[in-house]
Amino acid sequence: MGKGMRAGKKPSMGGGGGSMQKQLQQMQAMQRKMEMLQAEIEEKELTTTAGGGAVTVTVNGKKEVTKLELKPEIVDPDDIEMLQDLIMVAVNEGIRQIEELANNEMGKLTGGLNIPGLL
Protein backbone atom coordinates (compact mmCIF):
# COMPACT_ATOMS: atom_id res chain seq x y z
CA MET A 1 0.00 0.00 0.00
CA GLY A 2 1.27 3.46 -0.83
CA LYS A 3 2.39 5.96 1.73
CA GLY A 4 -0.50 7.70 3.44
CA MET A 5 -3.17 5.31 2.12
CA ARG A 6 -5.42 3.27 4.34
CA ALA A 7 -7.09 0.02 3.53
CA GLY A 8 -10.48 0.45 1.87
CA LYS A 9 -9.92 4.10 0.89
CA LYS A 10 -9.88 5.20 -2.70
CA PRO A 11 -7.41 7.88 -3.73
CA SER A 12 -8.86 11.34 -4.24
CA MET A 13 -9.15 12.55 -7.86
CA GLY A 14 -8.99 16.32 -7.52
CA GLY A 15 -12.25 17.14 -5.79
CA GLY A 16 -14.46 14.37 -7.11
CA GLY A 17 -16.58 13.92 -10.21
CA GLY A 18 -19.08 16.59 -9.24
CA SER A 19 -16.56 19.35 -9.78
CA MET A 20 -15.61 18.01 -13.21
CA GLN A 21 -19.28 17.70 -14.15
CA LYS A 22 -19.90 21.29 -13.10
CA GLN A 23 -16.94 22.53 -15.17
CA LEU A 24 -18.20 20.60 -18.19
CA GLN A 25 -21.67 22.14 -17.80
CA GLN A 26 -20.14 25.62 -17.53
CA MET A 27 -18.10 25.06 -20.69
CA GLN A 28 -21.17 23.82 -22.56
CA ALA A 29 -23.15 26.86 -21.42
CA MET A 30 -20.34 29.16 -22.58
CA GLN A 31 -20.26 27.36 -25.94
CA ARG A 32 -24.01 27.90 -26.37
CA LYS A 33 -23.61 31.60 -25.52
CA MET A 34 -20.74 31.89 -27.99
CA GLU A 35 -22.83 30.27 -30.73
CA MET A 36 -25.71 32.66 -30.03
CA LEU A 37 -23.35 35.63 -30.03
CA GLN A 38 -21.76 34.50 -33.31
CA ALA A 39 -25.24 34.29 -34.87
CA GLU A 40 -25.98 37.83 -33.64
CA ILE A 41 -22.69 39.11 -35.05
CA GLU A 42 -23.45 37.52 -38.42
CA GLU A 43 -26.66 39.58 -38.57
CA LYS A 44 -24.86 42.89 -37.98
CA GLU A 45 -23.80 45.20 -40.79
CA LEU A 46 -21.20 47.95 -40.94
CA THR A 47 -20.87 50.61 -43.61
CA THR A 48 -17.54 52.17 -44.60
CA THR A 49 -16.55 54.74 -47.18
CA ALA A 50 -13.53 55.73 -49.23
CA GLY A 51 -12.68 58.72 -51.36
CA GLY A 52 -14.59 61.13 -49.16
CA GLY A 53 -17.80 59.14 -49.53
CA ALA A 54 -17.43 58.47 -53.24
CA VAL A 55 -17.45 54.71 -52.54
CA THR A 56 -19.68 53.22 -49.84
CA VAL A 57 -19.53 49.54 -48.88
CA THR A 58 -21.69 47.61 -46.42
CA VAL A 59 -20.27 44.40 -44.94
CA ASN A 60 -22.15 41.92 -42.75
CA GLY A 61 -20.90 39.80 -39.86
CA LYS A 62 -20.21 36.95 -42.26
CA LYS A 63 -17.66 39.24 -43.95
CA GLU A 64 -19.78 39.47 -47.09
CA VAL A 65 -20.28 42.67 -49.05
CA THR A 66 -24.04 43.29 -49.00
CA LYS A 67 -24.12 46.71 -50.63
CA LEU A 68 -21.82 48.76 -52.85
CA GLU A 69 -22.57 52.33 -53.87
CA LEU A 70 -20.55 54.52 -56.23
CA LYS A 71 -21.14 58.22 -56.73
CA PRO A 72 -21.46 58.88 -60.46
CA GLU A 73 -18.68 61.47 -60.47
CA ILE A 74 -16.15 58.85 -59.33
CA VAL A 75 -16.72 56.71 -62.42
CA ASP A 76 -14.07 57.84 -64.89
CA PRO A 77 -13.45 55.44 -67.79
CA ASP A 78 -9.96 56.90 -68.12
CA ASP A 79 -9.07 56.14 -64.48
CA ILE A 80 -10.42 52.69 -63.62
CA GLU A 81 -7.44 52.03 -61.32
CA MET A 82 -8.48 54.77 -58.90
CA LEU A 83 -12.00 53.35 -58.71
CA GLN A 84 -10.63 49.86 -58.08
CA ASP A 85 -8.35 51.18 -55.33
CA LEU A 86 -11.20 53.04 -53.63
CA ILE A 87 -13.41 49.95 -53.69
CA MET A 88 -10.63 47.81 -52.20
CA VAL A 89 -9.97 50.36 -49.45
CA ALA A 90 -13.66 50.52 -48.51
CA VAL A 91 -14.10 46.72 -48.57
CA ASN A 92 -10.94 46.05 -46.56
CA GLU A 93 -11.93 48.65 -43.97
CA GLY A 94 -15.39 47.11 -43.67
CA ILE A 95 -13.90 43.65 -43.11
CA ARG A 96 -11.43 45.05 -40.57
CA GLN A 97 -14.22 46.78 -38.64
CA ILE A 98 -16.50 43.73 -38.59
CA GLU A 99 -13.60 41.57 -37.34
CA GLU A 100 -12.86 44.12 -34.63
CA LEU A 101 -16.52 44.17 -33.60
CA ALA A 102 -16.65 40.37 -33.47
CA ASN A 103 -13.41 40.15 -31.47
CA ASN A 104 -14.66 42.76 -28.99
CA GLU A 105 -18.01 41.02 -28.53
CA MET A 106 -16.42 37.58 -28.10
CA GLY A 107 -13.82 39.07 -25.76
CA LYS A 108 -16.60 40.29 -23.48
CA LEU A 109 -18.00 36.76 -23.29
CA THR A 110 -14.72 34.90 -22.88
CA GLY A 111 -13.15 37.45 -20.54
CA GLY A 112 -10.24 38.02 -22.90
CA LEU A 113 -9.28 34.35 -23.21
CA ASN A 114 -7.55 33.70 -26.50
CA ILE A 115 -9.49 30.71 -27.76
CA PRO A 116 -8.35 29.74 -31.26
CA GLY A 117 -10.95 29.16 -33.94
CA LEU A 118 -13.71 31.30 -32.44
CA LEU A 119 -14.21 33.41 -35.51
* pLDDT at residue 113, as a whole number: 62
Beta bridge partners of residue 15, listed in sequence order: none
Q: Which residues of 24-35 are buried (b: 16+ CB within 10 A; e: fewer)?
A: eeeeeeeeeebe
Rounded Cα distance between 91 and 83, Å, is 12
What is the pLDDT at residue 9? Answer: 57
Domains and CATH numbers, the chain: 45-105 (3.30.1310.10)
pTM (2 d.p.): 0.67
Instruction: Going from the first residue of the chain to its last (119 residues), give the mean pLDDT of each consecutive group of 10, the final group possibly shorter.
Output: 57 63 89 90 94 95 95 92 95 95 86 59
